[in-house]
Each structure stands twice: as structure tokens, then as C-alpha cells.
């Protein structure tokens, strides 16, 4: 008989005050008890319909291309990044203009610009850069800088080229917009309206080593290798004391976190490549390293209110929590030896769903073969209360957004974790929503999650999904509306999920078991 471990939705520690979708900061330490899981409902009418353009490329074909009033609607490609500004405007980066449309979109639609800004109601209020005409379908494409461009006006001003393979975005404390590109080696900073490139780290299509080759060099102080994500810290840097340090998940070609100051000057970096993927927590080297393939490791980097840095090690099914200036490292980090990438120890390791990526799961207490998907630790964002009582994790391997009790997820790790299951796992996972599919509330290649000041969630989907969705806060989850969910990569664990489309959150009594 299988030994099931259940994650129950515990008693409320402190009542959550709901008003206009906002819940107040908790007054007590969350670690004393578990929060109730917040309930989310999908908004099937968000965003509003995208704009329709008149066709202006004289060589374009397709039945909507010619004649009086000929027009084509915008279509987004893979939505690879979601981020929010100070007014809760959502920015997305999508790959539609980078040869990412599918038939018949290539002739009956226009690829939207790469960066789209939505207001809270879902209206498009800005989009950039403007696409340029081409001679072949889809007849419009994203502008591109020449190879080697460093972002200076000499090579960037005329074309305003965004990164290749857009991946990840961030809006900083000054409302500047940052975008990364996992098809080349650059991270860019733009003014809020996208009209001016303010800073570029790296050179277009020039990488630290061979672009896309995992672990090529991993140690340049000027070049990146297919970066996945970026975050800008509004607080003083622990070393320089200056605001605006830039943290980059340099994680498709390289396997490191690299930090620059606000002017783009290198400060420090750390990382490595995991040796034992079956249990990446088994040794000090592997605890401070990232998954040993080229699928985006690290895949996200997020600075939390607690002063720590949360880094997604996607295929290893874990989130590593680092000091912003880690000192428990190999490789003499105090002097940062040129050509050496220190391997630094995380303060905590948060387990998502082992067995989803390359780590080994368990069934009846015995190791099982990993599913071998792209993993369960894709992206995270935090609830808007001061203590960030919850964080929300995009699990693209299982196509679920998990809600974690923040304090419980990092509790009980006084000693370094040496097992696949770290800390109190899975008790920190309160509930999740979503399932594989294409209807509202379903996910196909769930990639990112972002949370606005009202606690609304926004998700981006890439391969096969190619869309953004909004989920609104609808109170707390009633346990009677939760379903028992047994993740495919870890079938002896039962988690709680619910359907974000149904009025009560789910079908009472229905179970969803996956062996």
C-alpha cells in the first residue's frame, strides 16, 4: 500500500483583510502556523482584443493584404516575460516578430511588436519597437542590431534592436524597462516608453564562449551567454552601498548569477554545473550550482523584501536562496580571482516538485526515474504585503501555479539540505491551480508569473501557449473545493489543487490522480 503524505490547508494564522483585492500584511510570524491558501479565478476577458493594423508593406500577400481598408490583427508569439510597473501596467515580451508566428497567421495577421504594455483594464497603451518590413511572410519582423553591437548610438540608434530570443523582463524602481535575450548575450535597459536605450550589458550575438553552448566559460566580466532573467535591486548593494545593482540569471549558455552596478560595471558572480542531477543537494558543489543542461539554469532571479536573492534552478526542481553577496564560497570570492567562478552556498533551498525535471522522485519511499521535463522551478513572484507572506511559483513541468507559504517554505534548514526534499517540504505548498490545456485557466508551457499591487496574478506561456492570462484574487480557498493532486513525478505525495474557472474553485469531492 502506498504511503501517502498529505498537504492540508491549515488553520488561518491571522484573518486576511480583503478590500478591492488587497490583503493587509500579517501581524504575526507566519512560521507559527500556516496561512490559508488564497483563491484565484481566471479572467477570460483579459486582455482586451489586440489592435488591428492597416497593411502597409507593398510586397505583403494574403486575403487581408489588399483592397480598400485592408487590415490585419496583431498576433503575439511565445510570451516569454511578464513584469509590472509602478501603476500596475503589465509589460510582456513576446517572440512574435522573431519568426515565431504559425500558419495561417503569417499571411492573415501581423506579428505584434516585441514589447507590449497593458493598462489594468487590459487595453494596449504602448508597444515597441516598431517592426520593420520584410520580403517574405510574415512580412514584418523585429529590428535587429548588427552582430557585436554594444548598444551605443553608433550601432543601435537607427534600428533599436531588441535581444534575440526574448526571455524575461523587469521594471525597476524608476520605471525603466529591462529585457533579456536567451538567443544571444545581452540585457538591455530602456526608458518606460521604449524610445531610448539607456544601458546594454554584453554585445549582441557575442557570448561568453560559444553562444548556447552550456558552461562554455562561465566567467566573463563583460559578456553574457544567453541570459534568462534580470532583476534590479532598489536597496543599497551589500558591497558598494549604491542602489540599482543588476542581478542577471545568466542561465542558458552559462550557469551563474552575475551582478553589475547601475552603470553596468561588473561586481561579482557565482555558479557552477551540477554533477549529480539525481540529487543536486547531495554535495556542497552541487548545492551551489545549476542544472547541467542548456534549458535555462538559472532560469529566474528575484530580489525579495527579506533581503535575499531567490534563484530558480529549473530542471533541478528547486529554488535556491542566496545572500546578495555570498561569502560561503569556493574560489576565493573575497578577491574574485579572474577566470574563476566561485561556487557559493545557498542559505536555503526550496523544493518544488522533485521528479519533474532531472531530479529523482520517490514512490513508496523508493527512488523513481525522473520525468525528464524542463522541470518545476520556472519563475516566482511574491504577494504584495510587506512580509510577502506568499510566493507564487510557475511550474511549467506540471502546468500549475503553486502557492507557497513563504515562511514555511524556508523553515527548518539550520543545516545544509543534503536530500532531494528540503526543509518542511511539501508542507509549504498550500495549493495550486491550472492543468495542461488551452482553455482559460489552463496552461501550455507555463513560463512566468507576475503579481501586481492588488494581488492579481499574470502568467505568460511560451511554446504552444503563446498568451498572457490574468487571475484575480477571490478570497480564500475552501478546503471542500480543493482536489487531491498526485504529481506525476512524485506519486506518493498528495498536494491540493483547484480549478480557477469554477465559482467555488473546484468540484467538491473530485480527485485528480496522476500516476
Hey, how many other C-beta atoms are within 10 angstroms of the C-beta on 291?
Answer: 30
Hey, what long-range contacts does 70-74 have (CB within 8 A, 24 or more apart)? 72/108, 72/109, 72/110, 73/49, 73/109, 73/110, 74/50, 74/109, 74/110, 74/111, 74/112
Contact status, residue 165 vs residue 181, Cβ threshold 8 Å: yes
CA 182 to chain CA centroid, nearest Å: 13
Q: Express each pLDDT in 430-469 by its tens digit.
A: 999 999 999 999 999 999 999 999 999 999 999 999 999 9
pLDDT, position 6: 35
- Quote the CA–CA distance of 446 and 374 in Å, as a whole number: 11
Three-state DSSP class for residue 133: strand
From 272, 270, 406, 427, select the one nearest 348 (Cα to Cα): 406
Hey, how many other C-beta atoms are within 10 angstroms of the C-beta on 509?
Answer: 9
Q: Is the peptide bond before 119 cis (omega within 30 degrees of 0)?
A: no
Res 8 pLDDT > 80: no
Hey, how many other C-beta atoms are within 10 angstroms of the C-beta on 373?
Answer: 21
Mean pLDDT for the stretch of residues 275-281: 93
Would you state the cell numbers that stand for residue 458, as one nine-digit string?
499574470
Percent share of the chain, pLDDT over 70: 88
pLDDT band at 35 (very low <50, low <70, confident <90, very high): confident
Percent of the chain that is helix, strand, coil (3-state, to 5): 5, 35, 60
Per-position DSSP letters for 424-471, written without gaps between them: TTTTTEEEEE--BSSSTT-BSSEEEEEE-TT--EEEEE-TTT-EEEEE
Res 61 pLDDT > 80: yes
Contact status, residue 381 vs residue 437, Cβ threshold 8 Å: no
Half-sphere exposure of 185 (CA within 13 A, CB side): 28
Q: Where are the alpha helices (DSSP H) in 88-189?
A: 105-108, 153-156
3-state secondary structure 316-360: CCEEEEECCCCCCECCCCCCCCCCCCCCECCCEEEECCCCCCCCC
What is the model's pTM?
A: 0.91
Res 5 pLDDT > 50: no
Three-state DSSP class for residue 267: strand
Q: Where are the alpha helices (DSSP H) in 138-295?
A: 153-156, 284-287
Q: Which has the minimum average pLDDT: 66-70, 342-346, 370-374, 384-388? A: 66-70
Q: Where are the alpha helices (DSSP H) in 110-186?
A: 153-156
* Torsion, Cα of 188, 192, 194, 199 (10° steps): -30
pLDDT, position 17: 36
From residue 124, alpha-carbon distances to 47, 89, 344 in Å are: 8, 10, 42
Three-state DSSP class for residue 513: strand
14-37 residues labelled b (16+ CB within 10 A) or e (exposed):
bebeeeeeebeebeeebeeebbbb
Res 224 pLDDT > 50: yes
Res 506 pLDDT > 60: no
- Quote the CA–CA distance of 53 and 40 in Å, as a whole number: 34
From 244, 243, 245, 204, select the one nearest 227 (Cα to Cα): 204
pLDDT band at 62 (very low <50, low <70, confident <90, very high): confident
Percent share of the chain, pLDDT over 90: 75
pLDDT, position 216: 63
Handedness of CA 284, 289, 290, 291 (dihedral sign): negative
Rg (CA), the chain: 22
Contact status, residue 205 vs residue 184, Cβ threshold 8 Å: yes
Q: Express each pLDDT in 177-215 by its tens digit.
A: 999 999 999 999 999 999 999 999 999 999 998 888 776
Mean pLDDT for the stretch of residues 483-503: 89
pLDDT, position 24: 35
Per-position DSSP letters for 74-94, written without gaps between them: EE---EEEEEE-TT--EEEEE
Would you state the cell numbers that stand for residue 137, as one nine-digit string?
511572410
pLDDT, position 47: 98
Three-state DSSP class for residue 285: helix
Higher pLDDT, 513 or 68: 68
Three-state DSSP class for residue 182: coil
Q: Which has the minimum average pLDDT: 6-20, 228-242, 289-303, 310-324? A: 6-20
Contact status, residue 203 vs residue 150, Cβ threshold 8 Å: yes
pLDDT, position 318: 97
Q: Which has the minimum average pLDDT: 103-112, 127-136, 414-423, 506-515? A: 506-515
Q: Which residue ranges form the domains of the chain, and what is each CATH number?
A: 1-36+395-509 (no CATH), 42-206 (2.40.10.500)
Would you state the cell numbers that stand for residue 214, as one nine-digit string?
552550456
| Average pLDDT taken over every residue of the chain | 88
Half-sphere exposure of 200 (CA within 13 A, CB side): 26
CA 356 to chain CA centroid, nearest Å: 17
Amino acid at each position: 500500500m502506498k504511503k501517502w503524505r498529505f498537504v492540508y490547508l491549515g488553520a488561518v494564522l491571522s484573518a486576511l483583510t480583503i478590500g478591492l483585492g488587497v490583503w493587509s500584511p500579517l501581524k504575526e510570524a507566519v512560521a507559527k502556523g500556516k496561512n490559508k491558501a488564497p483563491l484565484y479565478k481566471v479572467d477570460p476577458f483579459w486582455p482586451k482584443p489586440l489592435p488591428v493594423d492597416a497593411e502597409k508593406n507593398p510586397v505583403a500577400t494574403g486575403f487581408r493584404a489588399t483592397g480598400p481598408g485592408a487590415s490585419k490583427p496583431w498576433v503575439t508569439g511565445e510570451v516569454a516575460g511578464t513584469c509590472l510597473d509602478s501603476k500596475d501596467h503589465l509589460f510582456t515580451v513576446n517572440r512574435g516578430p522573431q519568426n515565431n508566428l504559425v500558419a495561417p497567421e503569417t499571411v492573415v495577421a501581423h506579428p505584434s511588436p516585441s514589447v507590449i504594455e497593458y493598462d489594468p483594464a487590459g487595453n494596449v497603451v504602448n508597444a515597441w519597437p516598431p517592426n520593420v518590413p520584410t520580403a517574405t511572410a510574415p512580412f514584418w519582423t523585429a529590428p535587429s542590431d548588427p552582430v557585436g553591437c554594444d548598444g551605443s548610438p553608433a550601432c543601435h540608434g537607427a534600428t533599436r534592436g531588441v535581444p534575440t530570443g526574448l526571455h524575461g523582463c523587469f521594471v525597476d524602481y524608476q520605471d525603466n524597462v529591462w529585457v533579456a535575450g536567451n538567443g544571444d548575450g545581452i540585457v538591455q535597459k530602456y526608458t518606460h516608453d521604449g524610445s531610448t536605450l539607456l544601458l546594454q550589458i554584453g554585445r549582441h550575438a557575442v557570448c561568453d564562449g560559444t553562444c548556447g553552448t552550456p558552461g562554455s566559460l562561465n566567467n566573463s566580466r563583460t559578456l553574457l551567454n544567453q541570459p534568462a532573467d534580470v532583476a534590479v535591486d532598489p536597496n543599497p548593494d551589500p558591497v558598494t552601498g549604491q542602489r540599482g545593482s543588476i542581478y542577471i540569471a545568466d542561465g542558458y549558455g552559462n550557469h551563474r548569477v552575475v551582478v553589475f552596478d547601475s552603470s553596468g560595471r561588473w561586481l561579482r558572480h557565482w555558479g557552477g554545473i551540477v554533477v549529480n542531477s539525481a540529487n543536486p543537494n547531495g554535495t556542497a558543489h552541487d548545492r551551489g550550482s545549476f542544472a547541467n543542461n542548456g534549458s535555462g539554469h538559472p532560469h529566474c532571479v528575484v530580489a525579495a523584501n527579506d533581503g535575499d536573492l531567490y534563484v530558480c534552478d529549473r530542471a533541478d526542481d528547486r529554488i535556491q536562496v542566496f545572500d546578495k553577496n555570498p561569502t560561503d564560497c569556493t574560489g576565493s570570492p573575497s578577491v574574485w580571482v579572474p577566470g574563476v567562478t566561485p561556487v557559493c552556498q545557498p542559505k536555503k533551498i526550496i523544493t518544488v516538485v522533485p521528479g519533474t525535471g532531472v531530479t529523482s522522485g520517490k514512490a513508496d519511499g523508493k527512488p523513481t526515474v525522473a520525468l525528464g521535463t524542463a522541470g518545476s522551478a520556472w519563475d516566482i513572484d511574491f504577494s504584495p504585503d510587506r512580509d510577502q507572506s506568499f510566493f507564487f511559483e510557475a511550474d511549467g513541468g506540471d502546468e500549475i501555479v503553486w502557492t507557497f507559504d513563504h515562511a514555511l517554505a524556508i523553515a527548518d534548514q539550520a543545516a545544509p539540505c543534503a536530500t532531494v526534499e528540503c526543509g518542511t517540504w511539501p508542507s509549504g505548498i498550500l495549493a495550486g491551480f491550472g492543468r495542461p490545456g488551452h482553455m482559460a485557466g489552463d496552461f501550455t508551457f507555463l513560463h512566468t508569473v507576475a503579481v501586481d499591487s492588488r494581488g492579481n496574478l499574470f502568467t505568460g506561456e511560451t511554446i504552444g501557449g503563446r498568451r498572457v492570462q490574468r487571475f484575480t484574487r477571490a478570497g480564500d480557498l475552501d478546503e471542500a473545493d480543493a482536489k487531491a493532486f498526485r504529481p506525476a513525478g512524485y506519486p506518493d505525495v498528495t498536494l491540493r489543487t483547484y480549478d480557477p474557472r469554477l465559482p467555488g474553485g473546484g468540484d467538491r469531492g473530485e480527485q485528480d490522480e496522476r500516476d
